[in-house]
Structure 1
Amino acid sequence: MQQLKAIGQRELRNDNAEIMRRVEAGESFVVTRNNKPVAQLSPYHSEVVTRPSLGEVQALFGSLPPVDADRWDADRAAADELFGADDPLDDPWQS
């Protein structure tokens, strides 16, 4: 991963044309104010982010194996034994 060059707010204001040319050429910067990062200046990429539909997510979950409740309880009990059970989980549907 490339190291971003830090530039001060004043440098950005005074040299904005040169910095914008460098961003257009592919460079990225972290803009600082009082030596604290406040923004990242990077080239714009018009990529489309696609997300799965509800039906696709349901199909993915439907392809998972069923949860083995007894194994879940055994794993939880083993973890409680190892780490302590100071935060017990109650199953409201058990009663």
Structure 2
Amino acid sequence: MSVQPDITEQDLRHRSQEIVDAVADGQAFTVTRDGHPIGRLLPLSRRRFVSRREFAASSRAAPAIDLDAFRADQDAMADPCPDDPYAR
């Protein structure tokens, strides 16, 4: 993982085009205010299209999944009584 250089709010204001170009090229920055980090500028990950044929070829080496064991693992980890998101 590369080091994220610090930039001040003033740097961001005055060099925004340069900084945005650097982010577009993959550079990340930590934004600071009064010497304290307040946020990060991170490039978005780039997705790569994978054809159906390529996916199928790479999946052939994947281990088989025992569906009953998979479901049992899910049931063991799931909260049987999730909180009501609308309860106040």
Q: Which residue of 2 aligns with 1:33?
A: 33
Point out where structure 1 has 5 or more consecutive residues left out of the alignment: 48-55, 65-95
Q: Does 1:19 align with 2:31?
A: no
TM-aligned CA deviation for residue 8 of structure 1: 0.4
Q: SS of 1:44's equivalent?
A: coil
Point out where structure 2 has 5 or more consecutive residues left out of the alignment: 48-67, 77-88
Q: SS of 1:12's equivalent?
A: helix
Count of residue pairs brought into register by the alignment: 56
Runs of 4+ in 1 over 4 A off after TM superposition: none
Q: SS of 2:31's equivalent?
A: strand
TM-aligned CA deviation for residue 3 of structure 1: 0.9
CA-atom RMSD in angstroms: 2.9
TM-aligned CA deviation for residue 20 of structure 1: 0.3
- Percent identity, aligned pairs only? 28
Alignment partner of 1:61 out of 70, 73, 85: 73
The two structures have a TM-score, normalised by structure 2, of: 0.53
TM-aligned CA deviation for residue 45 of structure 1: 2.4
The two structures have a TM-score, normalised by structure 1, of: 0.50
